[in-house]
Structure 1
Amino acid sequence: MSSHDSVRHFHKANPDDPPVQRPPVGPRGPIPGPNFLGLEGRIAIVQAQVFLLAMIVIAQLWLVTDALYELLSGRTANLGWLALASGAIFALALLITFWPRRRIEGS
């Protein structure tokens, strides 16, 4: 292989990677990610998701703190209820995270 041929040969870190394409360009520059330009209210939905998940994280922290206090003080009667409430809140967080996106994307 001559030095001229080695200039044209590009090494790929993973040869199985699909070819990279430039993003579509709009009037203000590249359009990022999936084209959600026609989806009205998408920003409001994402903001509501983030707010609700932040409140859920605060509630989970409070439940863990309360459960540790109950455990370390020797009062274990409420630990089952606290674990059940934490599991229910976790399920609610999963629902908030995944359900609206599926409805918007139409999948």
Structure 2
Amino acid sequence: MNTHNSVPRVRKANPDDPTVRRPPIGSRGPMPGPNFLGLEGRIAIVQAQVFLLAIIVIAQLWLVTDALYELLSGRTANLGWLTIASGVTFALALLITFWPRRRIEGH
């Protein structure tokens, strides 16, 4: 045992990690973390986003299936339109995902 340098070293898996602090202790024990209350109606907006994105994913799967069928059957006339429709639904999915968050949180 080396007593010359007896400074305790705390080993960390990642030295860049922030220090972990214990939660504040209340009358009934440890208190929960910060209470991030959502804005009124936020749950309904998130549920609508999830529903619309599920519909878009189903449409994307149908478009990809149809495009593969057309490609493998040798009929390539509709592939351009299917690609454009897939791109439009992808852009719509991005819009649904990011636009309401910025409007509600005021960013």
- For this structure pair, what is the TM-score category when the shorter chain's length is used for normalisation? 0.7 to 0.9
Q: How far 1:23 sits from its partner (Å)?
A: 6.1
Aligned residues: 103
What is the RMSD of the two structures over their aligned residues, measured on CA atoms?
A: 2.8
Instruction: Specify whether residues 39 and 24 from structure 1 end up closer, same or farther in structure 2 by C-alpha distance, changes over 3 A only.
Output: farther
Stretches of structure 1 lacking an aligned partner (at least 5 in a row): none
Unmatched 5+ stretches in structure 2? none
Q: 1:31 deviation in Å?
A: 4.2
Aligned partner (choices 22, 29, 32) of residue 30 of structure 1: 32
**TM (normalized to structure 2)?**
0.79
**What TM-score comes out, normalization by structure 1 length?**
0.79
Higher helix share: 1
Provide the rounded CA distance (Å) in 1 between the counterparts of 2:23 and 2:45: 25
Distance in 2 (alpha carbons) for counterparts of 1:53 and 1:23: 37
Superposition pairs of residues 51-90 of structure 1, within 5 angstroms: 51-90=51-90
Deviations 1:2-25 (A, max 9, x none): 3xx46x431111222222345678
- Structure with larger Rg: 2
Runs of 4 or more above 3 Å deviation: 21-27
1:40-65 CA distance string (max 9 Å, x none): 11111111111111000000000011
